[in-house]
Structure 1
Amino acid sequence: MPSPLTFVATRRACYTGFVVQAIVNNIAPLLFIVFHTQFAIPVAELGGLAALNFGVQLLTDLAAMKVVDRVGYRRPVLLAHVLSVVGLVLLAFLPGIAPTPFLGLAAAVVVYAIGGGLLEVLMSPVVEHLPSPQEAKAAGMAMLHSFYCWGQLAVVVVTTGLLAVFGIGLWPLLPVFWAIVPLANLLVFARVPFPDTVPDEHRTPIRSLLGTPLFLFGLVLMLTGGAAELTMSQWSSFFAEQGVGASKAVGDLLGPGLFALLMGVSRFAYGMWGQRFSLEDLLVGSGAGAAVCYVVAATAPVPAVSLLACALCGLFVGLLWPGTFSLTSARFPLGGAGMFALLALAGDGGGTLGPWVAGVLAELASGPLAPLAAVLPADGDSGLRTALLLCAVIPAVFALTVLRVRRPIPVAA
């Protein structure tokens, strides 16, 4: 096997690949308030855009499940970056020229979501299969996923700063600006070496994985972990502005900005020192802590406390996704890229359903859920306090599922 030093540039490019995924997942939600005011797009349809993004990523995960191990990593990685660049550029221009602004936004989202889905499927197995000691695999996975958080934080801070300086009228320049990152990383990935995929004769078949209860529990963890992370991440900006009454700059920085920072801190900390602790114990505490944050964000009468709970949620959800990847890959070491695609499929399923369900629940707060909304603090009639309170069940289910599977189980072949 080649020396680990051979793949230093590959590892760094994978880190940047997660930054690219953070860009395509978070640029549109930061502009939700612009789309809502400038194009009169309703809250439910904004939730639909978030759901569309992760729904397309889900389908991409499904399509890539059997392809990547056969064609290798390089070509799908390059395609992912090309689609990310094109989708971001289309986000800037299509709303103004499409038959309706929502249709233009949706088309752009579809293009870059395919790129984001491929990145999600590819980056984790590439890093997992780079030469490194087995005991360092979980820490390496957490470190990789921390770069998603640093990318999200950069998107929030830079986008918020540019909007504050130049005004929301120039928002189309922002997606074009962020398209520079995947374009630059595309050139890097065209030159770096890649590890080999798992050969067919050694790879654990997908059918075998789906017939194993332990793996099915892993899919539940990915589903609830993805929903717990993305529901708060996608709606925290809108909640801060419409539900709590903060200005856009303050709302973005104290909502998704601080959320991303704390999520990155939790992943980075586990990457540095996580080998000293039980991953299962940390995941149980993380799920329970995230559930508490959802409840506090929904029920706190003081706006600053609600914002703080939204941000602290990032600290707790940070380990859910990479921790589940690590638990599963340790027990199924020959699962290959197909296994990672299936896990990502479940995670994107949660990332699709969570924000969409929250949007629907917010709309229902003015109808069937009005009695519940009436006992919660005011939220500018957005209904998001009601939605967040009910969505607290998602991270709670994650914690209970880890408790169910934490007993020692033999490693699969």
Structure 2
Amino acid sequence: MRYSFKHTLYACYTGYITQAIVNNLAPILFIVFQQQFGISFEQVGRLILINFGTQIAADLISVRYVDRIGYRKAAVLAHLLSVLGLVGLAVLPMLLPPYLGLTTAVIIYALGGGLLEVLVSPIVESLPGEQKESAMSLLHSFYCWGQVFVVLVSTLLLWVFGTQIWVYLPVMWAIVPLINMFLFSKVPLMPPLPKEHLMPLRELLNSKFFGAALILMMCAGASELTMSQWSSLFAEKGLHVSKVIGDLAGPCMFAVLMGIGRTLYGIWGHKINLKNALLASGALCILCYLVTIFSPSPILSLIGCAVCGFSVSLMWPGTFSLTAEKFPRGGTAMFGMLAVFGDLGAAIGPWMAGYISDVAQGSQYFMQIGTERQMDPAQLGLKSGLLVALIFPILLVAGVIYFQKAKHK
């Protein structure tokens, strides 16, 4: 079979689906982990922190070594680590102390996810064609559709067959990166820019524009992942709906609307002012967090959670496109540093929400507020955690306003 750049694009799309599996399968199983292994909210949040903390380490390693070993070998390695980590998620908690087993599996597949995050965007950016902003948003939409598929299929399987079959889910999903690993070993890749043509990392880091872009990426990661990773548990514990309804109305609808937002921008993005679109996204995100936290109606809270997916849809790919347009010679180092700060936000935001949730549940002051408002400890804790995370979309809006007003160098 003769492979073309179209197959390369398909492999990149599947690479983002793999990353969606890596980031979103475990949160579907958080309640199962709590029930079976007796772990706390903070430990659940710590798994998210470990996942994205490890991805940050992989991003930093990639910045230094990917150009040396080549995109093809790095992509194959990324998929192999994803396969091993997902299989380990099912096997290692049975062979090791449960939380150690979960942590080990998360570290392994997070290394693969971090590598993919750095590799896929510059590969797509290098392919022949114009309208790069639209192509980047369409690429990132496959992360959303992967998330929808993971949440929908996993939730329905757990509902139909019972939570005891959870150990088979990671093995089933490992088939996707396994197949894509072989595809990446065959598809054509554009040669990277020669090292002498690339912009030095020191020059990038000395740019005020690039520094602001890194802050935007951190806020984008935190705004997206805090709501996405906690939405299932928030719906079940905080809003008292069933797990299947919580998963479908929470993370699944979040991902559907995020995918719709990215797909629409992928089609019509070349006609839209990117900075204005990012500003509108941030403002809508703030509103969605407020509705989710403060609405007395569980239905309105779930709607706020779901629409938040649309609001964050442009943040991550939009910041990538904004930066790539400003620094066309940024190369792997630029995408790697953006990924580092995106993952930093994705790690800090959900962990901070979990930490604040535990603190609120142990505070007499907060318990008194909860009693007055007829909220149980879990509901109060989770709402408190999301309230603190509201700082991230607020900072993102401030950053976009800075972009619009300042002269960047």
Which interval holds the TM-score relative to the shorter structure? over 0.9
1:202-221, aligned counterparts within 5 Å? 202-221=197-216
CA contact (8 A) 2:62 2:336 kept: yes
1:327 and 2:322 aligned = yes
After superposition, the C-alpha distances for 1:234-288 in whole angstroms (9 at most, x for unaligned) are: 0000001111111111100000000000000000000001111100001001011
Alignment-derived partner of residue 53 in structure 1: 51
CA contact (8 A) 2:254 2:308 kept: yes
Cα separation, 1, equivalents of 2:224 and 2:372: 26
1:336-351, aligned counterparts within 5 Å? 336-351=331-346
Cα separation, 2, equivalents of 1:180 and 1:277: 38
Q: How many residues align?
A: 404
CA apart distance, 1:409: 4.8
Cα separation, 1, equivalents of 2:104 and 2:271: 46
1:346-357, aligned counterparts within 5 Å? 346-357=341-352
Amino acid in structure 2 at the alignment position of 1:152: Q
CA pair 373-64 structure 1, distance change in 2 beyond 3 A:
farther
1:244-263, aligned counterparts within 5 Å? 244-263=239-258
1:127 and 2:124 aligned = yes
User: Where does structure 2 lack aligned partners over 5 or more consecutive residues?
Assistant: none
Amino acid in structure 2 at the alignment position of 1:352: A
After superposition, the C-alpha distances for 1:73-92 in whole angstroms (9 at most, x for unaligned) are: 00000000000001000100
1:76-155, aligned counterparts within 5 Å? 76-98=74-96, 100-133=97-130, 136-155=131-150
CA apart distance, 1:70: 2.4
Report % sequence identity.
50
CA contact (8 A) 2:118 2:336 kept: yes
Alignment-derived partner of residue 173 in structure 1: 168
Q: 2:67 aligns with which of 45, 51, 69?
A: 69
Cα separation, 2, equivalents of 1:65 and 1:158: 35
Cα separation, 1, equivalents of 2:295 and 2:377: 14
CA apart distance, 1:381: 2.3
Amino acid in structure 1 at the alignment position of 2:251: P
Amino acid in structure 1 at the alignment position of 2:264: A
Cα separation, 1, equivalents of 2:16 and 2:407: 31
Q: 1:381 aligns with which of 378, 389, 393?
A: 378
CA pair 379-192 structure 1, distance change in 2 beyond 3 A:
farther
After superposition, the C-alpha distances for 1:130-173 in whole angstroms (9 at most, x for unaligned) are: 1112xx00000000000000000000000001101111011100
Cα separation, 1, equivalents of 2:386 and 2:328: 37
CA contact (8 A) 2:41 2:354 kept: yes
Alignment-derived partner of residue 189 in structure 1: 184
CA apart distance, 1:289: 0.8
Q: Alignment partner of 1:172: what SS?
A: helix
Cα separation, 2, equivalents of 1:7 and 1:58: 29
Q: 1:299 aligns with which of 294, 298, 313?
A: 294
CA pair 283-267 structure 1, distance change in 2 beyond 3 A:
same
CA contact (8 A) 2:286 2:390 kept: yes
1:364 and 2:359 aligned = yes
CA apart distance, 1:182: 0.4
1:405 and 2:400 aligned = no
Amino acid in structure 1 at the alignment position of 2:336: A
Q: 1:241 aligns with which of 236, 241, 259?
A: 236
Q: Which runs of 4+ in 1 moved over 3 A?
A: 371-377, 407-410
Alignment-derived partner of residue 389 in structure 2: 391
CA apart distance, 1:379: 5.3
Cα separation, 1, equivalents of 2:207 and 2:237: 45
CA pair 286-376 structure 1, distance change in 2 beyond 3 A:
farther
Bigger helix fraction: 2
CA contact (8 A) 2:86 2:171 kept: yes
After superposition, the C-alpha distances for 1:50-84 in whole angstroms (9 at most, x for unaligned) are: 11000000010011102112222000000000000
Cα separation, 1, equivalents of 2:338 and 2:193: 17
CA contact (8 A) 2:78 2:111 kept: yes
1:22 and 2:17 aligned = no
Alignment-derived partner of residue 285 in structure 1: 280
Amino acid in structure 2 at the alignment position of 1:90: G
